[in-house]
Structure 1
Amino acid sequence: MVGVNEKAEITHIPEPEGVVPGNGYTNVVTGTGRLVAVAGQVALDSDGKLVGEGDPEAQARQIFENLRRCLAAAGVGFDEVIKLTYFLTDIAYLPAVRKVRDEFVDVSRPPASSAVQVAGLFRPDLLLEIEAFAVAP
């Protein structure tokens, strides 16, 4: 496990030369340390029950809580997340996802991000899935 005072060395490059700055994300994030990959999380609780049927904000909140738990199991937190990928069944859910994300990440140095609209996820009642990459010291 990572010690309380240990921090990964992470550098944010929000505006690489010739690239438009991101809106709510950083274009490039680098780090030194151990890579932590968290599989795509969906809005299922610890019993496998759906949280937030039909509600993208409620599903996003459950997903970010699941991500938090997964990151903690690897000894890191959202400060060490360098990349988030959002898979949304409707891109119109993105504002709700960003609202919840901003409760978990440091908005002054957000991770790199990608958002992809998909035709569907492995269950039709799931509206989104989010995966994360982090760097541990």
Structure 2
Amino acid sequence: MRVVLASGGALLLGGISSAAPGGNTPDAAAGQAEAVFDALEARLAAAGGALHDVCKITMQITDRAFRQAVYAVMGRRLLGVRPVSTGLIVNGLDDPHALFQLDAWAAPGGPHERLRSYRSTSVPYGTTHQPFVAEFCMVVKAGRDVFLRGQTGMSLDGTFTGAGDPGAQARVAMDNVETLLADAGATLADAVHVTVYVTDRAWLSPALRAVVPRFAASPVPLSVLVVKGLAAPEILMEVDVRAQLG
């Protein structure tokens, strides 16, 4: 468990996992998810916050078959919070017995402004709808800090573009990023960190060709990760952007 105080006052609570016994099944993943959210709540309380202060979550699950079980727990535990999110399917975690891990950004005390709220069952993820019920938003503005939902080839009007083409998906994702930053009164020049996820090493070059030039005027730290999967199999890339207002 790692806690980092960001310069804008937000906390990063990273690497929260639980290796509770139960095997390698969806039920076991759900049990671990309950333990993870218990731990998140306890760590937030120790830092003077609560679950309603959560701004951004990054879910890391070791098998797509566990996704429904884990997200069902998350939807119930964060009901009414409406964080922005990124969901990853990964090959493994630091603890070989862990099926699920969570990173969370929180801003204790707020104020929080949550923009473009939506319900998981009302929007598609790639070409399909997700069966779990959860409440999210596209942008959280917490003081100077701005957190965006991970952006993909899904346009803000719900149209998926670029099937089989990571570059096309990345171009849509970056158009979304600019629009969402503008909603919060920010621009690409206010970005303080960018993470690009791809589901195959071959997708790195086309995705980065669409992302990196958009920050040419204001270079920003960039992390690039190859993951096992994203929210849907047809989603080949995702970009996470965090910004701070001056």
The two structures have a TM-score, normalised by structure 2, of 0.40
* Matched letter for residue 219 of structure 2: P
Deviates more, 1:77-86 or 1:46-55: 46-55
Mapped partners of 1:98, 1:134: distance in 2: 19
SS across alignment from 1:85: strand
Gaps of 5+ in 1: 1-32
Q: Secondary structure at the match of 2:154?
A: coil
1:83·1:134 contact (CA, 8 Å) conserved in 2?
yes
- State how far apart, in whole Å, the 1-side matches of 2:238 and 2:209 are: 15
Matches within 5 A, 1:39-118: 39-106=149-216, 109-118=218-227
Cα separation, 1, equivalents of 2:214 and 2:187: 9
2:230 to 102, 121, 131: 121
Counterparts of 1:57 and 1:51, CA distance in 2: 10
Q: TM-score, normalised by structure 1?
A: 0.70
Give the aligned partner of residue 38 of structure 1: 148
- Whether the aligned pair in 2 keeps the contact of 1:79 and 1:106 (CA below 8 Å) is no
* SS class of match (2:205): helix
Q: Which residue of 2 aligns with 1:135?
A: 244
Secondary structure, aligned partner of 2:193 = strand
CA shift, 1:79, in A, is 0.7
RMSD: 1.6
Q: Aligned residues, how many?
A: 104
Which structure has more RCO (C-alpha within 8 Å, separation ≥ 6)?
1
Q: Give the unaligned 5+ runs of structure 2.
A: 1-142
Identity %: 33
List 4+ stretches of structure 1 deviating above 2 A: none
Residue type of the alignment partner of 1:76: A
Letter matched to residue 239 of structure 2: I
The structure with the largest helix share of the pair is 2
